[in-house]
Amino acid sequence: MSAADTVRFLLDGQLVNALDVPPTMTVLEYLRDVAHRTGTKEGCAEGDCGACTVALGELSEDGTRVEFRAINSCIRPLPSIDGRELVTVESLSAPGAPLHPVQQAMVDEHASQCGFCTPGFVMSLFALYLRTAAPTREQVLEALAGNLCRCTGYRPIIDAACRMGDYPPPPNWSRESQHSAQRCQWLRELRRERALQFPGWYSPRSIDELAAALHAQPQALVLAGATDVGLWITKQLRELPAIIYVGEVAELKQIRRGADALRIAAAVSLTDAWDAITCDWPQLRELAQRFGSPPVRNAGTLCGNLANGSPIGDSMPVLIALGATLELRSVRGTRQLPLEQFYLGYQRRDLQPGEFVSAVTIPAPQQDVQLASYKISKRFEQDISAVCAAFAVRVRSGHVTAARIAFGGMAAVPSRAPATEQRLLGAPWSEQSIEAAVSALAQDFRPLSDMRASEHYRLQAAANLLRRFFLESGGSTIALRTADAAAAMS
């Protein structure tokens, strides 16, 4: 066995060489079953409860900084953390030693009851602490969106998070020490000359290597953040084909902002992708915030979400409305495809053997195009939409001259609403036109009834979201969101 066959990462300042790792072994399984570090818990094995949260440190390209982000270890294949630093709840303080400020604040605020979710909360807050020791309440809530607690009602956890900056910086794991020269040095030493490869796993270093590998093994699974594939492993117990991991391809980690488009490549995390998108379209911040949870967005990729093609993915409606284009790559070259044409039917996509999604390109914002995207779910945070709607409408001289309306949750694939769009085109931008358009929705969609919502509700909600879009575009003075009522109280 050559050195390349072992997965190597940093844990508590030690180099770990994980031998004989099955490609589908999760980080959590490694921690609990192999390393016997049982502080990290399994609550759901699907990345939805956060009990398994750990922090993962990645060296910046120039090798001088390390960025730590919270991820769900339960659905993260161990080989995908090769070359990174893993931080678990045990890492923060040695037995008997003073607790880390995050931990001490949790103790002092009585923020644990049964304690099973607590290590995950600690790690989500730890990742936040390394970014900012004195977060706002809003930053705290965002950071904790992926952590469920069934005991406390969260109030003491929120209080602990808001006060963790009051404690003196710890000797280990202070905001300063996260980028220490020693740490950067260690992680630089972990950089590989050539791809990590062992039976069932391949981490190509370039897009050409990736294309060639997929050409040679067209049945291989192209893996990015594993936030969906992780569930195939842990819940469906699927036998997976050989895995080709995109996370080590430098070219695929790029975000390029041109004069007329934003290009987001396949290995860009949802966190970074949404940051870039909301830079251009600040009105999408709520959608970005409600997309998955921080650990899911830190691991998952935008292109992965698009390539996966779930009928209920929340990125597709807005990107379809924006006229985004997919870049599909293979050894034969690159082809461009409007996003909405990619989805052929339930779990069927226009993807040739040997081809993979290498990037998505989003046209730059256009003046006089109004854009909004809304999701509706039972819970505000980290829920799957019953309906997700996106509207991009150009109004000139009071009339609609262009309309792109797309929905998720309304059909087997994310799709546009042609009849509804048609009713609006050329019509005056008025309540009357909206009502006419709304009545066409039933022509466009025949949604399912399932555990998230009934057909009737989905149609009604879709119509109401179009009404909301109109009301919000009109500079209305009445409250249109429950948050307006919350703001009125404070």
Partner 1 sequence: MVAQNIEIEPSSRASPRHDSAHLHVSGRALYADDIALPANALHAAFGMSSIAHGRIRKMDFAPLRQMSAVAAIAVASDVPGDNNYGSVLHDDPIFADGQVQYAGQPLFAVAATSYNAARKAARAAIIDYEPLPAILDVRAALAAQSYVLPTERLLRGQPHEMLGTAPRRLSGTVRIGGQDHFYLEGQIAIATPQEDGAMLVHSSTQHPSEVQQIVARALGRRSHDVTVQCRRMGGGFGGKETQPALIAAAAAVMAAKTQRAVKLRLDRDTDMLMTGKRHDFIADYEVGFDDQGRILALSVMLASRCGYSADLSGPVNDRAMMHLDNAYYLEHIEIISHRCKTHTVSNTAFRGFGGPQGMLVIEQILDDIARTLHLDPLSVRRCNFYGIGQRNVTPYGQTVDDNLVHTLVDRVAASAQYALRRGSLAAWNTANPIIKRGIALTPVKFGISFTSTIFNQAGALVHVYSDGTVLLNHGGAEMGQGLFIKVAQVVASELGVPLSAVRSSATDTSKIPNTSATAASSGSDLNGKAAQAAAQTIRQRLVQFACDTYGVQAEELHFHDGRVDVGSRQLTFAELVTQAYRARVSLSSTGFYRTPKIQWDKSAMRGRPFFYFAYGAAVSEVAIDTLSGETQLLRVDILHDVGRSLNSAIDLGQIEGGFLQGTGWLTSEELWWNASGELQTHAPSTYKIPTARDWPACATVRLLEDAPNREETIYRSKAVGEPPLMLAISVLHAIRDAVASCAGQPTRVHLDAPATPEAVLRAVAAVRGIAR
Closest CA to 429 of 397, 406, 407: 397
**How many CB atoms sit inside 10 A of residue 161's CB?**
28
| Cα separations in angstroms, 406 against 300, 350, 379 | 23, 19, 22
Q: Can you read off the two tokens belonging to residue 58?
A: 């990645």
* Shortest spacing between CB 249 and partner 1, in angstroms: 29
Cα–Cα distance, 83 to 429 (Å, whole number): 54
Q: What is the 8-class DSSP label of residue 25?
A: -
Q: 343 with 349: CB under 8 angstroms?
A: yes
Name which of 96 and 353 has its Cβ closer to partner 1: 96
Shortest distance, position 394 Cβ to partner 1, whole Å: 23
The rounded distance, in Å, linking the Cα atoms of 58 and 71 is: 12
Classified as helix, coil or strand, 189 is helix
Q: Cα–Cα distance between 219 and 355 in angstroms, integer?
A: 11
Is the Cβ of residue 80 or residue 227 nearer to partner 1 in the bound state? 227
Taking the CA atoms of 359, 365, 371 and 374 in sequence, report the sign of the dihedral they define: positive
Q: In which residue are the tokens 């990015």 written?
A: 224
Indicate the Cα dihedral angle 28, 32, 33, 35, nearest 10°.
100
Between 197 and 460, CB nearer to partner 1: 460
Instruction: Supply the DSSP symbol for 98.
Output: P
Specify whether the CB–CB gap between 363 and 322 falls below 8 A. yes
The least distance separating partner 1 from the CB of residue 396, rounded to whole angstroms, comes to 27
Query: In this complex, which beta carbon is closest to partner 1, that of residue 172 or of residue 422?
Result: 172
* Least distance (Å) between residue 457 CB and partner 1: 4
CB 215 to partner 1: min, Å:
32
Question: To the nearest whole angstrom, how small is the minimum distance from the Cβ of residue 481 to partner 1?
Answer: 7
Matching residue, tokens 């998720």: 408
Q: Smallest distance from the beta carbon of 458 to partner 1, in angstroms?
A: 9
CB-nearer residue toward partner 1: 279 or 480: 480
Nearer residue to partner 1 within complex by CB, 49 or 319: 49
Of the two residues 247 and 317, which places its CB atom closer to partner 1 in the complex?
317
Task: Please name the amino acid found at residue 58.
Answer: E
Six-digit token string for 419 = 């009849």
Shortest gap between Cβ of 137 and partner 1 (angstroms)? Answer: 7
Q: Which is nearer to partner 1, 157 or 316 (CB)?
A: 157
Q: State the Rg of the chain over Cα.
A: 23
Cβ nearer to partner 1, comparing 80 with 293: 293
User: What element of type H or E holds 139?
Assistant: helix 137-143
Taking a C-beta distance cutoff of 8 angstroms, is the pair 195, 205 a contact? Answer: yes
Minimum distance, C-beta of residue 466 to partner 1, in the bound complex (Å): 10
Smallest distance, Å, CB 73 to partner 1? 12
At residue 64's C-alpha, the angle toward residues 59 and 67, to 5°, is: 40
| Least distance (Å) between residue 214 CB and partner 1 | 28
Query: What is the residue whose two structure tokens read 């997976």?
Result: 240
C-beta closer to partner 1: residue 364 or 483? 483
Both structure tokens of 341: 């044409």
Rounded (to 5) percent helix, strand, coil in the chain: 40, 20, 40
d(CA 139, CA 134): 10
Q: Rounded to whole angstroms, what are the CA distances from 288 to 73, 99, 291, 335?
A: 22, 34, 5, 28
* Of residues 394 and 452, the one with the C-beta less far from partner 1: 452
- Burial class of residue 284, CB neighbours in 10 A (0-12, 13-18, 19+): buried
Closest distance to partner 1 from the beta carbon of 11 (Å): 14
Comparison of 67 and 90: residue with beta carbon closer to partner 1: 90
Give whichever of 118 and 361 is closer to partner 1, judged by the CB atom: 118
Q: How many CA atoms lie within 13 A of 425 on its CB side?
A: 10
Least distance between partner 1 and beta carbon 317 (Å): 15
